[in-house]
Amino acid sequence: MARSVVKCTNCGKPNRLSPTAEGVPRCANCHQLLPWVVDAGQEDFDAEVTASVPVLVDMWAPWCMPCKQVTPLLENVARTNSGRLKLVKLNVDNAPDIAARFGVQGIPTLLVIRNGNEVDRLVGAAPQPQIEGWLEQHLPDGMRAGNAR
């Protein structure tokens, strides 16, 4: 399985993350919750979207300007929701079968996956407050508005 490297927002140490269905990632050095951001491909997508927290899937392509505008917003959402959310980025040019499986016809497309099933989607570039508002309804009640820590 592929591993992603995530830099701790607290101490700055890089941490290797592998797909896991249980728990949430913490820094090996300072034990703070890590932003769970990974790139997935055709071979590891199903493993990456299996998680104990809601998974936000970003269907994007490198030539897509709206996708490039949304990417930093999504990474910020993942940082502010460390321990509550996993962000999986999927380049649809490299994984057309997965894009077809979810019926993606326009990008960027954001999917919320829970227990392996799509529960909602947002198509097109949206501002961060809209993404956060849309996503909040999919976070467990005890984890909203900073209650996770």
pTM: 0.87
Count of residues for the chain?
A: 149
Residue type, position 93, single letter: D
Rounded CA separation 2/99 (Å): 20
Catalytic (active-site) positions: 64, 67
Closest by Cα among 100, 105, 46, 51 to 78: 51
Q: Which CATH class is domain 36-140?
A: alpha beta
Rounded CA separation 89/4 (Å): 11
Q: Where are the domains of the chain?
A: 36-140
Residues 31, 48, 16, 14, CA torsion sign: negative
Q: 91-113 pLDDT, tens per residue? A: 999 999 999 999 999 999 999 99
For residue 143, pLDDT over 70 is answered with no
Q: 52-79 pLDDT, tens per residue? A: 999 999 999 999 999 999 999 999 999 9
For residue 146, pLDDT over 70 is answered with no
